[in-house]
A = this chain, B = another copy of it.
């Protein structure tokens, strides 16, 4: 769907045959997203260095080719796949991974944007270090930066933004300008912190090819528990009590709806029902405590510490807990990690990635338990997520498969859920997946004109060529 001479010109710039996959190749893995989206790529570019990326991007700009940056392609908002037009060039970062420069004294590493999170952490393990973003999926670093992922240990380590020390970025400005923002400094206030512009903006302002990342010490001790809160209100009493009692030894506070748990138990092989008499509660909380040091004399073992804290909470004012189950951390996390796959079996899934102020999240969920059945009686709420930081994967499932009028139904559902989240509960329509075709309409609807105008000017200054699945102006 793009002229052969354009393809030839890109091939002439390629440093390797592997750098360009033409329309004659099988491109389907680059065209298919993680959830219900399938587009058509005109071509796939796969540069292996910043210089090659720069040449490709300059050429695409000069030839008016629309570019969609893609790395691990694990997102759920259609932010990294081409649309159905067949005119968009997928710019894959998967070969951008030879760079791996570890700086132990700075506790940092410089990596290519195409490195998988799992590979990065495997290579860091022998040094007792890790990149502390914990996700169920296995994305590449480039996509993690493009969406500013948070994940399951956000409340302990923060998001990708707060763990990014530097970036190398290629602009889609016709010249393929390379911005070297890749100093590994922790403190540097000499003007605009330009790297911030490229974090969480799905590649629309430029493509990240390398990053300098903060590393953390691998935990040496871990304990976990499953809690059943006595009420929605009790969730925050428990969180506050744990934050005070454990300090930053508290490393996860994850919420799970009873529905999500039931689907996981039904579909994950070997997963044990941990609840008393097998009775799945309406809401359960996974709590994790970790320490960077090995057990030492004169100190409560971490399991004892967590049990002591939970006993204090149990006996404390307002009795916030109905149950508290301790167990092997791997087993407790196995339930949490089975939710994402489990809910896919619940029927046709509509996924929302919402965030609220921490105190508001439970109010939103309580409201939805009443309001949703009135509007959409067929749907089941299968939410789970990061209650400790206000994030929730608000999954709604339509049992038995998609509704007959899927497109209209989905549009009406998305409009309604996001209106409730934003207008009634002052929330965000994208906690950690960024903006893609699936939620573009909500950016357009809910972003103030002054902000859109600024984004348009920023786009014109950085990457005026067509790049990225989202439009921010």
Q: Which residues of B contact A108 (CB under 8 A)?
A: 357
- Once A186-B358, A244-B217, A247-B248 are accepted as A-B contacts, the answer to whether A199 and B191 lie under 8 Å apart by CB is no
Q: Which residues of B contact A357 (CB under 8 A)?
A: 103, 105-106, 108, 183-185
- Complex Cα gap A214–B217 (Å): 24
Interface status of A322 (Cβ within 8 A of chain B)? no
Interface string of A131-154 (1 = CB under 8 A from B): 000000000000000011010001
Our pick among B193, B244, B453, B460 for the contact of A457 (Cβ within 8 Å) is B460
How many chain copies does the complex carry? 2
Greatest chain B CB density within 10 A among A171, A245, A458, A472 is at A458
A435/B247 in contact, CB under 8 A: no
- Complex Cα gap A106–B236 (Å): 9
Greatest chain B CB density within 10 A among A103, A147, A359 is at A359
- Once A106-B358, A454-B462, A457-B457 are accepted as A-B contacts, the answer to whether A147 and B189 lie under 8 Å apart by CB is yes
- Complex Cα gap A158–B171 (Å): 29
- Complex Cα gap A240–B187 (Å): 19
Interface string of A288-305 (1 = CB under 8 A from B): 000111001011100011
B193/A431 in contact, CB under 8 A: no
Least CB separation from A298: chain B residue:
B300
A contact residues vs B (CB 8 Å cutoff): 103-108, 128, 147-148, 150, 154, 158-159, 161-162, 171, 177, 179-180, 183-194, 196-197, 199-201, 205, 217, 236, 240, 243-249, 291-293, 296, 298-300, 304-305, 308, 355-360, 386, 389-391, 426-435, 439, 442-443, 446-448, 450-451, 453-455, 457-458, 460-462, 470, 472
